[in-house]
Amino acid sequence: MTDARPGRLHEAQPVAARRHFLLSAGASAAALAFMTAIGLPFATRRAFAFSPPAGGGLDAFTALTKQLTGRTTLDATLGSRLYSALSKADRAFAANVAALNTWLKTHAGVPSDQVVAALQSQDPVLAKAVVNIVRGWYLGLVGQMPTVQVVAYEHALMFDPVNDILTIPSYCRDVPFYWAQKPAAV
């Protein structure tokens, strides 16, 4: 679509792409800031004391994500899909997992909610890997616009804190038009 007015010939597609990118970047930044502020990605504020498997395979990734999220159990199927997607998005991902596990072992005094800040000055590539891992688990997204891959939706960890009260957006609680029925008399 073009604007045919004199002096205003431009393509609408780059404008839409830029708008989409800015909205996505803003939403990702806001979600990460919100999760960090309420302590979701780094649920525990304890120091790391763990012994991950050697290398950067799925087992090492699982051990790493348990430490980063502060969870003792994670969905193995989702973990496998997330590891596969992150590995495809970044060829050095397995090496980064191994490096992160080594870094966490040698920096045992760093609280789990401070890992990204500590890594940012020392190794920005590893800091970005941590952000991508946490983003994948909590938001269910891998990659950046325009090639974002949705790995999880209903099993994304962002819904866990409110799953006993709220329904995941776009999922219905009951039969169609259940809200139109009169409540039962008590």
Mean pLDDT within 114-140: 91
| pLDDT for 45 | 40
> Structural domain boundaries of the chain?
39-157
Least confident piece of the model among 2-11, 27-36, 140-149: 2-11
Query: Shortest CA distance to 64 belongs to which of 91, 94, 87?
Result: 94
Mean pLDDT within 167-186: 74
Per-residue model confidence as pLDDT tens digits over 147-158: 899 999 888 999
CA torsion through residues 60, 68, 86, 91, sign: negative
Per-residue model confidence as pLDDT tens digits over 38-68: 554 443 444 445 566 766 789 999 999 988 8
Distance between CA atoms of residues 137 and 152, nearest Å: 8
| pLDDT for 133 | 94
| pLDDT for 182 | 82
| pLDDT for 84 | 95
Per-residue model confidence as pLDDT tens digits over 64-88: 998 888 888 999 999 999 999 999 9
Instruction: Please list, in sequence order, all residues whose beta carbon lies within 8 angstroms of the beta carbon of residue 180, skipping any fewer than 6 positions away.
Output: none
pLDDT at 143 over 60: yes
- Per-residue pLDDT band for 129 (boundaries 50, 70, 90) equals very high
With tokens 């050095």, the residue in question is 92
Give the ranges where the chain is alpha helix by DSSP (H): 12-38, 58-69, 76-89, 93-106, 115-122, 124-139
| pLDDT for 150 | 92
